[in-house]
Amino acid sequence: MDSLVIISNHLYHHKVLHVNYTTYDGRHRQDSLNPQNHTDFMMLSHEMDVANPHPYWYGQIIGIFHVHIRYFQPGRYAPKIQHIPFLYVHWFGRDTSFPSGFKHKRYPRIGFNDPEHAFTFLDPDQII
């Protein structure tokens, strides 16, 4: 039976997330996001089965965390401690009735509108 153990039952909280990226001209840059004043982010969407897919999902960072874990699997001996960073996020929903995109020369209209799927955890590496 698989099991996951959080070492010392401790959750580490962080104030800032640094996101590294490469610019269009090949230079390396870094942005800082934090739950206090630079909270909004975007990531590539995974919309494959909708009629009008949008290339990005948008959200707001509520918390930045990491844990140290051991993941036990049958047949494996003495798993190493792993460092797992994650974000607690509030998702924005896209207003599909608002015309947007290159054709309409407007950004999409987004807002908090889906309470059932509004809060989740996210791997920080998915932020662009």
pLDDT for 56? 85
* Secondary element (H or E) of residue 63: strand 56-72
Number of domains observed in the structure of the chain: 1
The mean pLDDT of the chain is: 86
- Give pLDDT, residue 92: 87
- Enter the pTM of the model: 0.80
pLDDT tens, residue by residue, 19-49: 988 888 999 999 999 999 889 999 998 877 6
> Is the model's pLDDT at 94 over the cut of 90?
no
CA dihedral 116, 87, 18, 128 (to 10 degrees): -40
d(CA 85, CA 123): 7
Domain containing residue 80: 3-126
Segment 47-54 shows an average pLDDT of 71
